[in-house]
Structure formats: structure tokens, C-alpha cells
């Protein structure tokens, strides 16, 4: 069983990106499990708090999930042409101390949805220096940027567009295949 930790960079209940992540879980190839992590309980990083209290429970839970995952899927909104602060904060916390080693060599894919016309292009690009610094193994072969996403999801943030669902399935299958090359060997 291939396990991927999926993280959405939005806290909103009807988030397009959280909906895209749920849809990714639903279209994952057989033998693949996407575990959806929760960044909502991660506090703002404060070195004094870390020194006094250690790793917050929400961060420890995410790090356990990351340790058990074969890959990491970041589903990023785009705020002001960049990475959402709450998402970057969660990754910053996760990479503190021993958490940093969990990222080293970890395969990572990035995707996102936006109501705008560029579909998180800038946010995805801004993730690459962060992922490089963390010594992850970014999956360069695929990119999924869902633009004009407002019309592709229902009011609860669920993906309703079949064409986008197929693109998502292809993206996830490609990432999974990169994790398990024997699946593509004949």
C-alpha cells in the first residue's frame, strides 16, 4: 500500500483546495491511500513557546503522518501571488528539530485551485525554494493548476467537474507511479 500525506493550505470549510484534496483521495489509484492531514490546530510559530513547551500536539500528529507516508501532496491556495501564511507556518513548525529529517528525500507533489485565471501558478512556484531547502524530492513531471475553480466545485467545496476530476486522477496516478516505478514496468 502506498501512503501519501495530503495537506490543504486553507482553513476554510468550503475551501476549493480542501475539496481538491478530498477528490484526490477519491480518485487515487488502487493500492494508494491519501491520508488528509489537518493544519488547523497548528499555532503561529513562536520560538519561546517551542522552548518552553516543545512541539505542539497538532504538529506532532502531522509529523507522525509524514513519517508514515511514502510521499507528500501539498494542495495550495494562492494569496497575493504567493504561499498562504497559515500553510507555510505549518510546514515551518513541522520542519523544526527532528522534523527536518522527515522531509529529506521525501517525494512531494504540489497542486492547487483558484477562482482566478492562473490557478495557483505563483504559489506553486514559491513552494519550490522551500521544498529545496527542506531537501525534499519534488516531483517535477506533473503540475495541476485548476483555474476558474469557482464553477467547478459546489457550495460545500466538492469537485463536481468531470474533466477536472480526470485531470486530477491523471496527476495523482503520475505522482504515485513516480513513487513506485515497478507499477509502470512491463
Residue 182, pLDDT > 70, answer no
Tell me which residue range forms the domain holding 110: 2-180
Query: Is the model's pTM score more than 0.85?
Result: yes
Query: Does 163 map to a domain?
Result: yes
Could you tell me the pLDDT band of residue 183, with boundaries at 50, 70 and 90? very low
Query: Does 185 map to a domain?
Result: no
Residue 164's Cα: distance from chain center in Å? 17
Query: Does 186 map to a domain?
Result: no
Mean pLDDT of 124-139: 97
The secondary structure of 48-69, three-state, reads: HHHHHHCCCHHHHHHHHHHHHC
Query: Does 82 map to a domain?
Result: yes
Looking up residue 110, the CATH number of its domain turns out to be 3.40.50.360
pLDDT of residue 181: 63
Mean pLDDT of 107-121: 94
Query: Does 153 map to a domain?
Result: yes
**Listed residue (103, 37, 95) closest to 71, CA to CA:** 103
Residue 186, pLDDT > 50, answer no
Query: Does 88 map to a domain?
Result: yes
pLDDT tens readout for residues 60-72: 999 999 999 999 9
- Radius of gyration in angstroms for the set of CA atoms belonging to the chain, rounded to a whole number: 16
pLDDT of residue 160: 97
pLDDT, mean over the chain: 95
CA distance 32 to 24: 11
Could you tell me the pLDDT band of residue 142, with boundaries at 50, 70 and 90? confident
Q: How many domains, the chain?
A: 1
CA distance 33 to 43: 27
Contact 168, 22 (CB under 8 A): no
The secondary structure of 144-182, three-state, reads: EEECCHHHCECCCCCECCHHHHHHHHHHHHHHHHHHCHH
φ and ψ of 63, to 5 deg: -65, -35
Amino acid at each position: 500500500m502506498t501512503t501519501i500525506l495530503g495537506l490543504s493550505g486553507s482553513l476554510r470549510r468550503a475551501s476549493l483546495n480542501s475539496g481538491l484534496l478530498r477528490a484526490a483521495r477519491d480518485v487515487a489509484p488502487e493500492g494508494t491511500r491519501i491520508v488528509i492531514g489537518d493544519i488547523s490546530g497548528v499555532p503561529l510559530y513562536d520560538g519561546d513557546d517551542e522552548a518552553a513547551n516543545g512541539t505542539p500536539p497538532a504538529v506532532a500528529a502531522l509529523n507522525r503522518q509524514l513519517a508514515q507516508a511514502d510521499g507528500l501532496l501539498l494542495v495550495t491556495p494562492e494569496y497575493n501571488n504567493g504561499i498562504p501564511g497559515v500553510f507555510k507556518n505549518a510546514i515551518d513548525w513541522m520542519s523544526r528539530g527532528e522534523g527536518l529529517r522527515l522531509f529529506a528525500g521525501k517525494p512531494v507533489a504540489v497542486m492547487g485551485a483558484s477562482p482566478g485565471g492562473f490557478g495557483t501558478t505563483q504559489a506553486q512556484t514559491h513552494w519550490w525554494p522551500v521544498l529545496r531547502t527542506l531537501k525534499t524530492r519534488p516531483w517535477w513531471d506533473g503540475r495541476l493548476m485548476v483555474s476558474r475553480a469557482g464553477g467547478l466545485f459546489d457550495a460545500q467545496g466538492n469537485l463536481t467537474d468531470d474533466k477536472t476530476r480526470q485531470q486530477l486522477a491523471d496527476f495523482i496516478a503520475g505522482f504515485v507511479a513516480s513513487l513506485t516505478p515497478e507499477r509502470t514496468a512491463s
